[in-house]
Amino acid sequence: MSNLPTFSDVLSAADNLRGHAVHTPLITNSMLDDRVEGRVFMKAECLQRTGSFKFRGAYNALSRAGDEGRKRGIVACSSGNHAQGIAEAARLMGQQATIIMPEDAPLLKKQRTARSGATIIEYDRYLEDREMLTQKHAEETGAILVHPYENHDVIAGQGTVGLEACRDLQQLGLEADHFLVCAGGGGLMAGITIAAKHHFPSVQIHPVEPEGHDDQRRSHIAGERLGGNVNTPSLCDAILTQMPGEASFAICQGQLSDGLVVSDQEAMDAVAFAFHELKLVVEPGGAVTLAALLSGKLHVAGKTVLATLSGGNIDPPVMARALDI
Amino acid sequence: MSNLPTFSDVLSAADNLRGHAVHTPLITNSMLDDRVEGRVFMKAECLQRTGSFKFRGAYNALSRAGDEGRKRGIVACSSGNHAQGIAEAARLMGQQATIIMPEDAPLLKKQRTARSGATIIEYDRYLEDREMLTQKHAEETGAILVHPYENHDVIAGQGTVGLEACRDLQQLGLEADHFLVCAGGGGLMAGITIAAKHHFPSVQIHPVEPEGHDDQRRSHIAGERLGGNVNTPSLCDAILTQMPGEASFAICQGQLSDGLVVSDQEAMDAVAFAFHELKLVVEPGGAVTLAALLSGKLHVAGKTVLATLSGGNIDPPVMARALDI
């Protein structure tokens, strides 16, 4: 990416998304607040169109591709949430989308991607390189590649999550002390960093990752992009990436506070908490921020906290396991 | 009840609830809108404190009971949602609550009532009269009886559901053509009728009930309160009542449009739709409005529709059944 997105790109993404993306609410819960002794505002992107924030970046990118996208088609790689975002945005735009998905992606995510009319090509996540497969498809077919996070318009679109959250908090007369973000490749975190640091310059932004996949945390400590071990199994499929994106890393460098890491069990406990107490359907990868708060990874007593609940596309059997049915 | 609540009572209930009840969002979903060819705004009271709208009326009533409530204690009868609302409001007020609950009330509702510190007395829903039991307890102990719908302050509190929904819709520059309300004793419907008819005088308000429990529909057609058959089993435990409340019937008389009736299966399909598509946890009785829309009980093409999702306190095994896990 030659030029990195700025706050004005986030503002124009917000204009672009108006009437298409859901302005999701900030959810509060007195039991959670009592437990952490702070005020937590959860940005419920599980309520977003297609069930995750990914629709924002996808729609922003595809609407800018416009006629060119209709002529050439779109290709994207994704474990599921970017896939659904792209597939649905393409349907709305009258573009044909092809999605390169790992064959062990959650069934629900495959089904929901297919129902928007996208073509799915499966690959083996442990043996094949999805970036190369996607690049090859783009070269062979001429389709426009929309990367899940190495893309200017995608990052700007995800930034609207932060924009809405900060504006809504300001309307309540509050300022955020902390912003916990579910982190995979870092597109959401980069977009949120742009918006949140504009509104609240001293806010502490924390990437939250699953155990064994804390490449964001380690990279930002090291000051360089480090690879993770994608072979470590995790239920947090939505946020498993090989290493931080180049663009998102550049945007976030020097802007982040401590990275937080949660176990699969902590993520599943947060899924159950969201079900029972918040009445929200959240997937494990979308619940890691809540998991970090519930398991006390960050001391937020007396603080105002924003946290993303980034998606809700959970297979029913995984929910059954979380609820111990 | 000697005097019926008015719009100004709803306004003062809103003042009273500010900072205590959640201002719940209106949820939209493009798939639902496409399906009914209209614009549906769901008032997600499952996101309310204690998981249902009942907290509003309970808090409004108990805060007005104040010191008297602290001295005498509170007693209420409820299958679960009013119970939780009363128990939590009493905890916040420093009052002692006793709840008369049917022994076959959902386990989750009993547990959540107990954890707020209320004392639970169980009865047999098929053999005993809960109204009499509650009255007797109040007389013997001197506790203040807070009826789930035959109560001025409770109805005014529930009216804030309608107040928020109408104001939020107006902020979007829209007017409601229809308002679908989950109806049991009618406290919520009465409160909503007061607020909605103030904001949108020509809005059509529809009670929605489970099959075999359509006493609101039949009573409003007959022009007098008719009893239902409480022995007909239904999964919609939240809205099974013997007959419309006297006060709510008086408030709603001549104000309602066609009552809608859904089967348990339609309610369960709506619970599954809410899980998969809205990412909301809704209980069967709270999903009857969505069920009516999904099963085409009302033609809303081209219309703007408000609908309550009144609660989310569902036992996990019931959710598992809805999701066919």
| Mutation site, A35, A279, A325, interface B, largest B CB count within 10 A | A279
Q: Dump pLDDT digits (tens) for A180-234.
A: 999 999 999 999 999 999 999 999 999 999 999 999 999 999 999 999 776 788 9
Confidence of residue A242 (pLDDT cuts 50, 70, 90): confident
Residue A2 has pLDDT above 70, yes or no: no
Q: Which whole-number Å values give the CA distances from A86 to A107, A122, A154, B168, in the listed order?
A: 17, 16, 10, 30
Q: What is the pLDDT of residue B2?
A: 66
Q: What is the pLDDT of residue B1?
A: 64
Q: Say whether A323 and B316 touch across the interface (CB within 8 A).
A: yes
> What residues of B are in contact with residue A51 (Cβ under 8 Å)?
277, 279
Nearest-by-Cβ selection for A279 from B47, B277, B317: B47
Q: Say whether A47 and B312 touch across the interface (CB within 8 A).
A: no
Confidence of residue A1 (pLDDT cuts 50, 70, 90): low
Residues of A with a Cβ under 8 Å from any B Cβ are 22, 25, 27-28, 30, 46-47, 49, 51, 108, 275-282, 312, 316-317, 319-320, 323-325
Q: Say whether B280 and A316 touch across the interface (CB within 8 A).
A: no
Which residue would you say has higher pLDDT here, A1 or B107? B107
* Three-state SS at B128: coil
Q: Supply the mean pLDDT for chain B.
A: 95
Confidence of residue A57 (pLDDT cuts 50, 70, 90): very high
Q: Which of the 8 DSSP states describes residue A203?
A: P
Q: Which whole-number Å values give the CA distances from A94 to A68, A72, A88, B18, B55, in the listed order?
A: 11, 12, 10, 45, 46
Strands, sheet with A39-44, edge to edge from the N-terminal-most edge strand = A26-27, A39-44, A304-309, A178-182, A204-210, A260-262
Token representation of residue A136: 């090859």
Which residue would you say has higher pLDDT here, A162 or B104? A162
Report whether A180 contacts A298 (CB < 8 A): yes
Confidence of residue B5 (pLDDT cuts 50, 70, 90): very high
DSSP B155-170: HHHHHHHHHHHHHHHH
Q: How many Cα atoms are found within 13 Å in the side-chain-facing hemisphere of B253?
A: 13
User: What does the longest C-alpha to C-alpha distance in chain B come to?
Assistant: 56
Cα A214–Cα A220–Cα A222 angle in degrees, nearest 5: 100
Distance spanning both ends of chain A, measured CA to CA:
47
Q: What is the pLDDT of residue B242?
A: 82
Q: Dump pLDDT digits (tens) for B267-323.
A: 999 999 999 999 999 999 999 999 999 999 999 999 999 999 999 999 999 999 999
Q: Supply the mean pLDDT for chain A.
A: 95
What are chain B's domains? 7-53+152-323 (3.40.50.1100), 54-145 (3.40.50.1100)
Residue A23: how many other CB atoms lie within 10 Å: 16
Q: Which whole-number Å values give the CA distances from B96 to A154, B87, B119, B134, B173, in the listed order?
A: 53, 8, 8, 15, 44
Residue of A nearest to B324 (CA): A316
Q: Which of the 8 DSSP states describes residue A200?
A: -
Q: Dump pLDDT digits (tens) for A83-138.
A: 999 999 999 999 999 999 999 888 888 999 999 999 999 999 888 988 899 999 99
Report whether B90 contacts B97 (CB < 8 A): yes
Q: Say whether B281 and A282 touch across the interface (CB within 8 A).
A: no
> What residues of B are in contact with residue A317 (Cβ under 8 Å)?
325
Report whether A251 contacts A155 (CB < 8 A): yes
Residue of A nearest to B22 (CA): A28
Q: Which of the 8 DSSP states describes residue A275?
A: I
pLDDT above 70 covers a percentage of chain A that reads 99
Residue of B nearest to A278 (CA): B47
Q: How far is A252 from chain B (nearest CA, A)?
A: 30
Q: Say whether A320 and B317 touch across the interface (CB within 8 A).
A: no
Q: What is the pLDDT of residue B179?
A: 98
Q: Minimum mean pLDDT among A3-7, A165-169, A227-231: which range?
A: A227-231
Alpha helix ranges (H) inside B212-263: 215-222, 246-252
Residue of B nearest to A272 (CA): B316
Q: What is the pLDDT of residue B130?
A: 87
Distance CA A291, CA A261 (A): 9
Distance CA A120, CA A52 (A): 19
Confidence of residue A40 (pLDDT cuts 50, 70, 90): very high
Report whether B164 contacts B43 (CB < 8 A): yes
Q: Dump pLDDT digits (tens) for B215-251.
A: 999 999 999 999 977 678 899 988 888 899 999 999 9
Distance CA B130, CA B132 (A): 5
Distance CA B281, CA B270 (A): 11
Q: Which whole-number Å values give the CA distances from A271 to A158, A241, A316, B220, in the listed order?
A: 23, 21, 12, 43
> What is the ipTM for the molecules in this complex?
0.95
Q: Minimum mean pLDDT among B108-112, B158-162, B214-218: which range?
A: B108-112
Q: Dump pLDDT digits (tens) for B10-50.
A: 999 999 999 899 999 999 998 999 999 999 999 999 999 99
pLDDT above 90 covers a percentage of chain B that reads 88
Distance spanning both ends of chain B, measured CA to CA:
47
Mean pLDDT score, A30-50: 96
